[in-house]
Amino acid sequence: MRIFLTGGCGFIGSAVVRRAIRREGHEIVNIDKMTYAASEDALEDTRHHPNHTLIRADICDAAAMRAAFAAHQPDVVMHLAAESHVDRSIDGPAAFVHTNVTGTFTLLEAARDYFMTLSGARRERFRFHHISTDEVFGALADNDPPFTEHTPYDPRSPYSASKAASDHLARAWMHTYGLPVIVSNTTNNYGFWQFPEKLIPLITLNAILENPLPVYGAGQNTRDWLFVDDHAEALLKVVSQGVPGQTYCIGARQPRRNIDVVKTICAIVDEQLGTPNGARERLITYVTDRPGHDHRYEIDPSSAETALSWRADHDFERGLRATVKWYLDNRAWWEAIRAKRYGGERLGSNT
């Protein structure tokens, strides 16, 4: 299967590329603008694999998207490219509307034009898989049931609003134009190669360096954590087995409070590096909460598990330990990012 994948040098996208090529044998046409969070290093050995083609292009560039479809004739589209950091969306929402809304519109139009040229078996198997987030559903109270495919949309941040808009566009292109669209929503991902602005890598690196560990509010916000390789497997199942018009909520049943995640990371780093200056929990610093900080996200993945014959393989503690160990073993990668993006200073607040 030839997959047209947007954002394939990002955190989740690169995990999809690695799995698709190594384990599934698919051909990947990787469209990536190579923004600050993209990394060709994250492709590992698939970077120069004959089944991988990297096109440096912006999904908002209509001519480039049409040319890529015409040149590479994909069987399916997996649309992952997005601006995704909530804090950045609060400070500068325009970029999120541009990439997540205008970019998705541009890609949908290019895909629709291409789809209209297909016939027979190629037309029957074509899919446009739009990958989204659980944040479009809003926030849960402690006793609320988890999100499902039937939860109404209620986005609370510029980021989640832009993703909700893109979800609606994707579904509208199916109902209006017949484009075979599938949508999936997922929980917070973590794992190897995640850009160090998100909670787990940020806290891990600051703990390694014994810098302050910023925690919003009292750290009571709860997130449902999914190991990125498990998500990559699920996404490939969605695009190959999913039914057009359906939504698949992908989660791992691993909810944790932010403060508990931070303390667990501290304990793992203490174990790995020792505590000559004292346990790293001493570095926890509570900072002013961000505007509109959603209290809790959690997905019930039952429907997707049944439909796709899939279930997350990693429990959170095992996955988190492996992730912290990866950052310990790959210091050169994140030190280069710090030096380039932050002048060597410690990173900012977490998500």
Enumerate the active-site residues.
134-135, 159
Pairing mode, strands 255-257 and 222-227: antiparallel
Spell out the alpha helix ranges (H) of 73-213. Answer: 86-91, 93-96, 103-115, 120-125, 158-177, 199-209
With a CB cutoff of 8 Å and minimum separation 6, the contacts of 75 are 1, 2, 3, 122, 125, 126
Please, are residues 250 and 231 in contact by the beta-carbon 8 Å criterion? Answer: yes
Q: Please give the distance of CA 261 from its chain centroid, rounded to a whole number.
A: 19
Report the distance separating Cα 157 and Cα 153, nearest Å.
12
- What distance lies between CA 150 and its chain's CA centroid? 21
What's the rounded Cα separation, in Å, for the pair 181 and 110? 14
Tell me the two tokens of residue 145.
């049931």
Tokens found for residue 345: 């200073």
For residues 8 and 33, what is the distance between their CA atoms, to the nearest angstrom?
10
- Cα separation of 122 and 115, whole Å? 9
Cα–Cα distance, 45 to 54 (Å, whole number): 14
**From CA 266, how far away is CA 210, in angstroms rounded?**
10
